[in-house]
Structures are given as structure tokens and as C-alpha cells.
Amino acid sequence: MTLTLYNTLTRRKEPFEPIDPKNVRMYVCGPTVYDLAHIGNARPIIVFDVLFRLLRHLYGEQHVTYARNITDVDDKINARAVERFPEMPPTEAIRKLTEETTAQFHKDIAALGVLPPTVEPRATDHIAEMRVLCDELVANGHAYVGEDHVLFAVGSMPDYGKLARRSLEEMEAGARVDVAPYKRGPMDFVLWKPSKPGEPSWPSPAGIATPGRPGWHIECSAMAGKHLGNVFDIHGGGIDLVFPHHENEIAQSRCAHGTSVMANVWMHNGFLQVEGEKMSKSLGNFVTIKELFDEWRGYSWPGQVARFAMLGTHYRQPIDFSQDALDQASIALSGFKTWAADIPGASPSREFMDALSDDLNTPRAIAELHRLSQLAQRGVHEQTDRMTKPGAMLEKLEASPAAQLSASLSFLGLDMESYDRNWVQNQSRLSISEEQSAKIAQLISARLAARKAKNWAESDRIRDELAAMGIQLKDGKDPQTGEAITMWEVKR
Ligand code: AMP
Ligand code: ZN
């Protein structure tokens, strides 16, 4: 099994060869902690969590270092902190905002089944490293000082624009005319800037007297360098980060360290839309991770459902996040829960691993889950047949489809043990009391029993009784297992 990964740097799928198989190193740009993370932010977190799991499987848990940072110094953070806590001194307000937001982020992504990365560096803990980078770049002529700013001179780097495949000439031609007076070239970008009163500030590098703060790009170069070294294996993030963020990270790190690459493989996830539209506050379709768990479209969605829905689309494709996709994910998981068997020593199937190793082809891996689920269902019937025949041999349990299904689900980070396949019926806290909810569950199972016994009159009577309580039923069949499933919702 060879792992192949699509590399944005070469625009090709390539066999993955770590620099040091005893220490495979990956960096992913993490959140800027000024607001609740939205489901678009969840995408890179989930995608690279799957890659982290795969790398740990291939090279051993002790041989993978995954760094995912927290950006806790940023203009948006400063503005939001003052807005939210106007009565506090700004530095205290900033600390309160970033701590609260980081804690909520951790809670959100844990519920999505995401493993903690090996290290989670915070920008504010790496200011010294950022200052050193600035000094080095000024010393070797790749950066200069202008009006208390440190700027990177993009013209000093012959292949600036290589990741994004943009030429400097084109970029300069397209640049706005109102270029800041302290910039020598219109595309030169800020490594360090002076702080206004009330903004977080640190002693500046490059002999600048005014205290200042780092630009965004230098933060990641400093944290990646500190934890993963000057050249490492994989760098990831959303597709929007290719330019300018990753291009600039590359420029800073390569020019400071005199290397020909910063990371060998650059990976980018596609963007997430909601019901076919760009997610935005003004369109009213902005969904935070927390909201999904609390209440979205009348339900509080389990983390497994959101995670599974996210993996249904290949990471490089745009993804359309919708209630329909979540419903489908619920139905599929409910079927899997029925047929999977947790057998110690079992591993995912060969086809499942091959699919993941092919540039994280999760849709193909999920098709394999459906196949295993069908086999497991058939196996149950066949085994009961066989057991009635004398001398029948039972297949080795850990290689059975049911066991492979369970192992594959857990490989994907889907905690099926705690997944309640009847979760839709557990939405009691939305608008229904515990008692009512228990009553509904009881009526639904009585109705399913009546339907099984082909007692249609009784089944209809129960449907009407529920309707009178304001409960609407949705009958469905698990498309893979054929098992009858009934979901309910409150009539609106
Ligand atoms: P930000 O906090 O905006 O810097 O974003 C954090 C991460 O989420 C980055 O890797 C972004 O590329 C990613 N991201 C932001 N919005 C979306 C979206 N709608 N779809 C997919 N990824 C996103
Ligand atoms: Zn970054």
C-alpha cells in the first residue's frame, strides 16, 4: 500500500516519501480565535485529522508529529475584544476573548471526533522566534524596515508566486495604486508592524524603537520552524490560504533558512457551502459547529453525523453542507451501527485502506463501508443457515465483514459505541419533555411492530395518535440494509 497525496506545489498526485519515517511532520494552519468556529472551519480540522490517523497507522503513533496552531494575535481579535468587553483594559479583554474562544473550539472539535494534535502552538508563545526571523530576513537582504514596519521584499525572491502559480509582474500590475508609503514594492508584505496604544505589543526586532506586533504570515513560519524544523513533510489548510498566506509563509521560511522548500507536500481542502450558497452572515446561512450540536433545523446533530457527512465528499472538492446530507449520514450510520461488530484484533478491509491511501479518497472508503455492511447483513443470515448444517465452519471472526466494518468506522474516527442510532428520537430537549419523548419512542416501536405484523390498521392508528400530539413521522429504509427506520419531527 503506497500513500499518494495531491501536492498543490506540483499540481500532481505523488507517492508520499517522508524525510524521516521515524518522525513524519505535518503542520496545519489553525483557527484565529476571535469567534465561534463555523462548519467551514471544521472541514480542514476533520480532513487533516483523518490524514493524521492514516500517518500514525503507516509510520507508528510515536513517529508522527502534527502541529496545528492557534492564532491568538490578530487585528480581528483586538477589534472583537474591545467590542465584547468594553469595560476591561484591552489586554485583559483580549486574553478573555482568546481563552474563551479556544476552550469552545476544543469542545467543538472533540465532539467531532478529532484527536488532539501532537503540539498546539500559540502565536503569543512564539514572539521571540518571530523576532529572530525578522532579524535574519533583514540581515540577509530579504526584508527591510520602513516607518517602524518590517516588510518582506518579494522582489528579492526569484520564484515568489510558485505555489499560487502567479508571476510577480502580473501581481504587481493588478495591485491597487494606493500603496503604503513605507513599501518599496506593491506586493511587499508586513512581517512586523507598530502597535497603537491599547493593542498588544512586544519589543520590536530590527532595531525599531516603537513596540509592535507580528503580521499573520510570520506567525506560522515561526511556529512551524520551532516545532517541525526548517523543512518538513506536509503543510495543510483551506484552499483560500494558498495565496497570500502560504505563499508568504514559504517566502519567509525559505529565505530565512536558505532552503529550497519549506514543506515538501502542500495540501488544501476545498471550500464548504451551505445548501448551494456561500456561507455568510448576511445570507443568514452561517452555521457554527456549536449551533449544529445545540440546534440546527430543529435538531441537535450528533458529532458523528456531521463528521461522516463531511467525509462523504473528497477533501479537494467543494462540499455542499445541507440538512439532506446530514439526514443521509444519519441513516447510513444507523445501518452501520446495526451490522458492525466490535471484535478485538480486527482491521479495516484492504479496499478501505487502499481508498484512504489514494489521496484520502473518503467517498470510496465510504462506498466500501456500505459494501461491508451489506455483506455483514447477509452474513448474519448465512451464518444462521450454516449453523443448522452439521460440520459447518464459522469464518474467522476478526476477518468477518462485520468486524472489518467496525474497525473501518473507528479508523475514520467515528465513535460508534456512543452513537445512538435512534438519536432523532432523542431530541426531547428541543421542545418536548423527557416524558413525551419516551412516549413517542414507545409509540414508534409499537407501530414498527404492527407494520412488521402487517397490521396496517393499528399502524395507521398509531400514526394518527402521534399526529394528534403534533408529531410527524418520516418512514424510510436504510438504503444499504433495507432495515425500516422511522424518524420523527415536531410539526412546524
Ligand atoms: P480562518 O479562521 O478564517 O483563518 O480559517 C481557519 C481554517 O478554516 C483555514 O484553514 C481556512 O482555509 C478554513 N476555512 C474557512 N472557511 C472555510 C470554508 N467555508 N470551507 C472550508 N474551509 C474553510
Ligand atoms: Zn498558517
CA of 270 to the centre of ligand 1 (A): 9
Mutating to test ligand 1, I would choose from 240, 269, 288, 314 the residue with most ligand atoms within 8 A of its C-beta, which is: 240
182-204 average pLDDT score: 94
* Contact between residue 430 and residue 298 where contact means Cβ atoms under 8 Å apart: yes
pLDDT in tens, 200-215: 999 999 999 999 999 9
Ligand 1 in reach of 357 Cβ (< 6 A) = no
**For residue 353, what pLDDT is reported?**
98
Mutating to test ligand 1, I would choose from 26, 43, 77 the residue with most ligand atoms within 8 A of its C-beta, which is: 43
Q: Count CB-CB contacts under 10 A for residue 408.
A: 28
User: Which of residues 172 and 407 earns the better pLDDT score?
Assistant: 407
Q: Which atom belonging to ligand 1 lies closest to the Cα atom of 32?
A: 2
pTM for the model? 0.87
User: Which of residues 176 and 179 earns the better pLDDT score?
Assistant: 179
Ligand 2 is a single-atom ion; what residues have CB below 5 A from it?
Answer: 29, 220
Compute the CA torsion angle 138, 139, 140, 146 (nearest 10 deg).
20
Only one residue has cell 499518494, namely: 4
Helix axes 362-388, 303-311, angle to 10 degrees: 110
Tell me what the pLDDT averaged over the chain comes to: 91
- The residue whose CA has the least distance to atom 8 of ligand 1 is 41
Interatomic CA distance for residues 162 and 165, integer angstroms: 5
Helix axes 39-59, 90-111, angle to 10 degrees: 60
Residues 6+ apart with CB under 8 A from 468: none
Interatomic CA distance for residues 140 and 256, integer angstroms: 8
pLDDT band at 387 (very low <50, low <70, confident <90, very high): low
Interatomic CA distance for residues 197 and 290, integer angstroms: 34
Q: Residue 17 carries which DSSP code?
A: -
- The residue whose CA has the least distance to atom 17 of ligand 1 is 40
Where do the structural domains in the chain lie, given as residue ranges?
Answer: 4-269, 274-429, 430-492
The strand pair at 484-490 and 471-477 is best described as antiparallel
Ligand 1 in reach of 225 Cβ (< 6 A) = no
Ligand 1 in reach of 236 Cβ (< 6 A) = no
CA of 54 to the centre of ligand 2 (A): 22
Q: Count CB-CB contacts under 10 A for residue 115.
A: 14
Across 65-69, 330-334, 427-431, which has the greatest mean pLDDT? 65-69
Interatomic CA distance for residues 140 and 151, integer angstroms: 13
Only one residue has cell 518538513, namely: 232
Interatomic CA distance for residues 90 and 47, integer angstroms: 35
- Phi, psi at 272, each rounded to 5°: -105, 135
User: Which of residues 297 and 121 earns the better pLDDT score?
Assistant: 121
CA of 207 to the centre of ligand 2 (A): 26
477-492 average pLDDT score: 71
Q: Which atom belonging to ligand 1 lies closest to the Cα atom of 31?
A: 2
**For residue 4, what pLDDT is reported?**
98
User: Which of 38-42, 338-342, 380-384, 413-417 bottoms out in mean pLDDT, i.e. has the lowest?
Assistant: 380-384
What is the homologous superfamily of the domain 4-269 according to CATH? HUPs (3.40.50.620)
Residues 6+ apart with CB under 8 A from 211: 194, 195, 201, 202, 203, 204
User: Which of residues 183 and 480 earns the better pLDDT score?
Assistant: 183
Write b or e for each residue in 223-250: b if 16 or more Cβ atoms lie within 10 A of its Cβ, otherwise e: bbbbbbbebbbbbbbbbebbebbbbbbb
Which ligand has its closest atom nearest to the C-alpha of 321? 1
Mutating to test ligand 1, I would choose from 26, 38, 41 the residue with most ligand atoms within 8 A of its C-beta, which is: 41
CA of 44 to the centre of ligand 1 (A): 7
Beta strands in 4-90 (DSSP E): 4-7, 12-15, 24-28, 64-68
pLDDT band at 487 (very low <50, low <70, confident <90, very high): confident
Q: Which atom belonging to ligand 1 lies closest to the Cα atom of 241?
A: 12
User: Which of residues 479 and 191 earns the better pLDDT score?
Assistant: 191
- The residue whose CA has the least distance to atom 1 of ligand 1 is 31
**For residue 428, what pLDDT is reported?**
45
pLDDT at 318 over 90: yes
Residues 6+ apart with CB under 8 A from 267: 5, 6, 7, 8, 48, 51, 234, 235, 236
Ligand 1 in reach of 237 Cβ (< 6 A) = yes
Ligand 1 in reach of 346 Cβ (< 6 A) = no
Ligand 1 in reach of 40 Cβ (< 6 A) = yes
pLDDT at 480 over 60: no
